[in-house]
Structure 1
């Protein structure tokens, strides 16, 4: 709109019929206009909003008494409609004179933060809104003599939606993201985290992994750090601490010519390198003025937590007889954490890392069961078997075969869980109890490099995947949701005994706050009923079957043998419960069920489980590369639940299935039940995370990210990451599923959400042979951290099958692949994904 105040002789037919003695408006305008012309000498303003497809309107707000000049014009244009999370640019122009100052101010609508508000060009991130909403902004210019003129701009902001075109499936050896996004590599296997350490050679000759990035980057969290200082700043999106897991290793690439042994004995240096490449990294990261991210190699915050790092046990199992070893005779301490997969973070700025497939690292010789039985520890045999540590295991990577240079070193021998007949039956003379020291949630204070991580035994012992806290409400006891990642295992939640107090978020004694919320409370396991309802079953000693009559002797005993206790309660076996994520607006919990080759129509063995309402598929999944079809529930699915009364303290819930993984070309009746198409078909969902409530991706209708760890769909595409706006529990309907496997048929009715359609879209495809896992963002949502795990994992130094990340921007033949953390940003500076 344009108004020309010099055209004051214009008569629009509004004839004066007010016969009072008041002065006519035209006289006042003429007088005021003349005075402004004299005082000011001329100022005009133009305000323009440029973004998406926003609808704008401009008007002259000429309400100043100090004078103005003729020729004042205001105009506004539109190039479309703004959407949540996108950058809006406001441009004001002063003409017909000079201004001593200019400023932008918001006058109505959902509050936003204006950047460069005292300049002609200001920007803001469009907020998340439930329905299209007008935001109004005023641009004001002031002359040297305090005369002012202003213009108003209205921006119509739309509801959140996915803001990118789907990335095609790909078998290429690069990370692919949508147009308008940029990928940069931040932190790679072997990168030094101490100023004195040389760069990584990536040829198998490097050592000292206690001061280098570990391998197999996995779960991850970003913690904002004060701009200058050492305390948390939850709003800082340019300086922070990145904490990430190193789940496992690609052994072949760590050594010059692959791993070696002599007469079955591993070299000490090789084994030490492999051990130290596991664990956790804490690194300081910063965003430069050019928008690029880097890590600070010499930061005092940098730290590696490895399987050799001192740990302290806390909670009900602390000091229990089953935790006593030759290293810790009183069962209160241990060494290290291993096979750390998914993660979590707390409102008090600590990191939760979770021990997943730890059992495979242990050796257990034949005859061990008899020694334990003779020592009065026969119950341990059932537990060891239930957790997968059978007699005859040699242990991953042969670490127990090392003969250390220091005769008193036990860092290799500790992985041998075989009981020695001539040593004390309580385990204090050997490492028969070492397996019971693993399988826990471990809390780390990223801001205190000298602190000792704490194993939180109240949260149970299992193949821990995620440990995701639900919404925190003052006065309500918070809940932490967890999966046990193995076929036919269970979903759990822990409800703290202490109600949440918001002041605890800013306490400097972060691990003491963890003691308050994580050491006492109730651990529950989920039962999913066919009705779409579910129950949380308490794992409490003395309640139900958890009594001495059934072999349970204490609450510590229940927690150390969590799987056995959950079996006794009748929990629902699930298709490999992996990551958990909580919608920050609704409080609904999502859990990825990655796949299950032991899901059957008619079980043929004790390890198989029949299809049920929560796990309704068992089929043959065909492949196009000539390999045999995958069996069971090969593509996995995502289940979600809503607590009764929307409270974390609930003991019942409703549930449905958000989406079934499948290739879009597969049978829509028995496999592709969610109607996926080429833009969103996926298999084996794994990583899962919601955008943060501190930015539009976690507000109103939050954005959910889903990552894959796939072996069934890799004939068509490398592993991927998708973005979704997932709806709510109950937004679909009952769905009939017909499973066919080995000539058997079973029909099950399940509760399914609405077909994802355009609200689920592929955002990223990774390089060859990788897994996409680990995700977090800065508080503003404008930088997204993602981990690429084990690219080229099927190769070796003589047959390198991936050159990533060296080849992300240019060809890099001969370069060994490295697990790495990447950063994804929008080229226009908006919130990633929206």
Structure 2
């Protein structure tokens, strides 16, 4: 008898599609291809084959390369590749703790409220820090991050700049009295807790990492002055507002460039805007982006007209961009690079192709798309000419075809449907309405595209699709798809700038107790893949973000999976092992390494947030769900960066 499948979790805003187009969904593509799949032979798919999930009984993901491409990573002469994973997997957990394998040690570093410089404003455990103090402290809800070494490999592996995003704020924990009443002071503090932190850290003789005094330390918040570059200028009529261009909000994942800058990615920016004006109605474009009078529950528009859609309509168009920050120049303004499009950017993964910059980004909403930006010419030449390589290039959106092929469709004014006669004024208009432009050219609807990572050995590209709602145009191999999956593609000729590709499913996540399509086992079962990153050895690190409305619940099919976690995969062998588990209510998000790969930094986001399984924090009891990491009987849970090291000083994961 087949296992009973769970009811899909209660929706969060990202699970509700705002895509009304008739474009084909990835689910429809998958179903047609699955009906024609060939047998798997020797770990490599036949030309019309289809790679799904794990090999039965092995607890491993599909290890073959995409259809039509030879295997990579094996030993000369056809021998089996040596595995990359050398640790004992940890079990699932429902404890309010952070657990790593035997032989590893951890250190909590820079939790929310830590001064960005020694001697700065101290954290107040009752949440009473002012907006001005918060602007000099580490922000809330850590997400994507990157370590920029200061010095050569040896020196840079013990000293560098850690740059990290703060995606959003939990207003019930941010303020001593919670969020029932919204005031201008509360909006200012919330803005100060958003954005990006830059801190200098070093590893000292005691073996621990410490924040050190640095002229480079700074906060970029929701109130920091910013510039715009590319086709959409700050002076564009759609961006005119009652205030100068300010801030960055809802920065989820990140990227970094070959020239040493950091990319912050604005995701659910629509949630911060609303209005109480009964005469206001959203335009078609605003509906496409989920902009509404009620907003996402922050209610800032009640206390600050900057976020009132009726009073200050241009401000909302200043968000939804990739933001470039120079971590080594504290005087440089953050710049919103508009040539990369305006969507709900989950991240921005940058690689190179014959000197050109290539940047991948997912639009994290059910039924939206995967994008790629390809720079014009050598990025080094562009830089030498005083131009940004992210201002000059072509933006594409992906179409996945049912024979395992795919095509990148250009989003260029004057091309295909994107003409003046078709209602598109110019390239700025295309970029301001990127979602609608992608609808018009026929992109493939996806299952909440999240993080994207490029294999440093093969240049294959991987993308997490965290889950799908099961609406009529399902966007996954399952309908519904409560557990998510990981898709992989190979660009034609191994060239990341190519306009065609071949794709497969690398992994189908889930619990075989509820879905008999899943063949993961107790050492690696998981759901809702989100964070994704390769290390330089080729290990693929997978982080999860199971919704707090589903976490730990049998009624949602998540009772065996436990708290959110991070796993490591070896794409050459398909092996996957669970590396760590997080505290209650938390998401595991953000990972980066020192150059010697002997220190890993991992973020724990929103521990203690309201969950169906554990309860809801209140001003009277902010510890109702979690008290991690301080476990102070009078404190509150705090997002934090955790340092992970092997006790013998070896390479992480090996």
Counterpart for residue 288 of structure 2: 386
Counterpart for residue 343 of structure 1: 254
Structure 1 contact 363–393 (Cα < 8 Å) conserved: yes
Change in Cα spacing, 1:234 to 1:595, as seen in structure 2 (3 Å) is farther
| Cα deviations by residue, 1:743-776 (Å, 9 ceiling, x for unpaired) | xxxxxxxxxxx8x4xx111000000110000110
Q: Specify every segment of 5 or more residues in structure 2 that has no aligned partner in the other structure, as ranges.
A: 1-72, 554-558, 611-616
Counterpart for residue 441 of structure 1: 322
For 1:774 and 1:502, the matched residues in 2 are separated by: 32
Question: Following superposition of structure 1 onto structure 2, how do residues 410-489 of structure 1 map, counting pairs within 5 Å?
Answer: 412-419=304-311, 431-470=312-351, 472-473=352-353, 475-489=354-368
Q: CA deviation at 1:249?
A: 1.1
Structure 2 residue aligned with 1:647, among 495, 502, 505?
A: 495
Structure 2 residue aligned with 1:197, among 107, 111, 120?
A: 120
Q: CA deviation at 1:253?
A: 1.6
Q: CA deviation at 1:368?
A: 5.2
Counterpart for residue 805 of structure 1: 629
Structure 1 contact 364–389 (Cα < 8 Å) conserved: no
Q: Give me the TM-score of the superposition, normalised by structure 1.
A: 0.65
For 2:88 and 2:280, the matched residues in 1 are separated by: 58
Change in Cα spacing, 1:385 to 1:368, as seen in structure 2 (3 Å) is farther
Structure 2 contact 452–463 (Cα < 8 Å) conserved: yes
For 1:815 and 1:395, the matched residues in 2 are separated by: 27
Structure 2 residue aligned with 1:326, among 242, 264, 267?
A: 242
Pick which of 795-804 and 530-539 moved more: 795-804
Structure 2 contact 275–301 (Cα < 8 Å) conserved: no
Change in Cα spacing, 1:532 to 1:442, as seen in structure 2 (3 Å) is same
Q: Specify every segment of 5 or more residues in structure 1 that has no aligned partner in the other structure, as ranges.
A: 1-128, 134-157, 228-232, 329-333, 371-379, 403-411, 420-430, 604-608, 619-631, 692-697, 728-753
Question: Is 1:254 equivalent to 2:174 in the alignment?
Answer: yes
For 2:409 and 2:427, the matched residues in 1 are separated by: 15
Question: Is 1:355 equivalent to 2:266 in the alignment?
Answer: yes
Counterpart for residue 144 of structure 1: none
Change in Cα spacing, 1:804 to 1:640, as seen in structure 2 (3 Å) is same
For 2:248 and 2:219, the matched residues in 1 are separated by: 11
Structure 1 contact 498–516 (Cα < 8 Å) conserved: no
Change in Cα spacing, 1:776 to 1:502, as seen in structure 2 (3 Å) is farther
Structure 2 contact 116–137 (Cα < 8 Å) conserved: yes
Structure 2 contact 274–309 (Cα < 8 Å) conserved: yes
Question: Is 1:163 equivalent to 2:86 in the alignment?
Answer: yes
Question: Is 1:399 equivalent to 2:300 in the alignment?
Answer: yes
Structure 1 contact 790–818 (Cα < 8 Å) conserved: yes
Question: Following superposition of structure 1 onto structure 2, how do residues 132-147 of structure 1 map, counting pairs within 5 Å?
Answer: none
For 1:485 and 1:286, the matched residues in 2 are separated by: 34
Question: Following superposition of structure 1 onto structure 2, how do residues 494-643 of structure 1 map, counting pairs within 5 Å?
Answer: 494-501=373-380, 515-597=387-469, 599-600=470-471, 603=472, 609-610=473-474, 615-618=476-479, 632-643=480-491
Change in Cα spacing, 1:436 to 1:689, as seen in structure 2 (3 Å) is same
| Length, aligned pairs only | 560
Question: Following superposition of structure 1 onto structure 2, how do residues 124-273 of structure 1 map, counting pairs within 5 Å?
Answer: 131=75, 159-207=82-130, 208-226=133-151, 236-261=156-181, 266-273=182-189
| Cα deviations by residue, 1:490-523 (Å, 9 ceiling, x for unpaired) | 000000012244996xx8xxxx87x431001000
For 1:253 and 1:657, the matched residues in 2 are separated by: 39
Structure 2 contact 154–596 (Cα < 8 Å) conserved: no
Q: CA deviation at 1:326?
A: 2.2
Counterpart for residue 788 of structure 1: 604
Q: CA deviation at 1:476?
A: 3.7
For 1:686 and 1:562, the matched residues in 2 are separated by: 23
Question: Following superposition of structure 1 onto structure 2, how do residues 275-354 of structure 1 map, counting pairs within 5 Å?
Answer: 275-296=191-212, 298-318=213-233, 319-328=235-244, 334-354=245-265
Q: CA deviation at 1:435?
A: 1.1
Pick which of 482-491 and 244-253 moved more: 244-253
For 1:130 and 1:667, the matched residues in 2 are separated by: 32
For 2:259 and 2:393, the matched residues in 1 are separated by: 18
Instruction: Say which SS state the counterpart of residue 163 (structure 1) adopts.
Output: coil
For 2:332 and 2:603, the matched residues in 1 are separated by: 26
Change in Cα spacing, 1:395 to 1:685, as seen in structure 2 (3 Å) is closer
Change in Cα spacing, 1:220 to 1:368, as seen in structure 2 (3 Å) is farther
Counterpart for residue 662 of structure 1: 510
Change in Cα spacing, 1:272 to 1:649, as seen in structure 2 (3 Å) is same
Counterpart for residue 831 of structure 1: 651
Instruction: Say which SS state the counterpart of residue 273 (structure 1) adopts.
Output: helix
For 2:505 and 2:154, the matched residues in 1 are separated by: 33
For 2:246 and 2:478, the matched residues in 1 are separated by: 41
Structure 1 contact 476–648 (Cα < 8 Å) conserved: no
> Which structure ranks higher in relative contact order (CA pairs < 8 Å, sequence separation ≥ 6)?
2
Structure 1 contact 225–234 (Cα < 8 Å) conserved: no
| Cα deviations by residue, 1:619-670 (Å, 9 ceiling, x for unpaired) | xxxxxxxxxxxxx21101111111001112200000011111101323323x
Instruction: Say which SS state the counterpart of residue 110 (structure 2) adopts.
Output: strand
More strand by share: 1
Change in Cα spacing, 1:235 to 1:462, as seen in structure 2 (3 Å) is farther
For 2:76 and 2:204, the matched residues in 1 are separated by: 35
Structure 1 contact 225–241 (Cα < 8 Å) conserved: yes
Q: Give me the TM-score of the superposition, normalised by structure 2.
A: 0.82
Q: CA deviation at 1:324?
A: 1.6
Q: CA deviation at 1:596?
A: 1.3
Counterpart for residue 65 of structure 1: none
For 1:786 and 1:537, the matched residues in 2 are separated by: 35
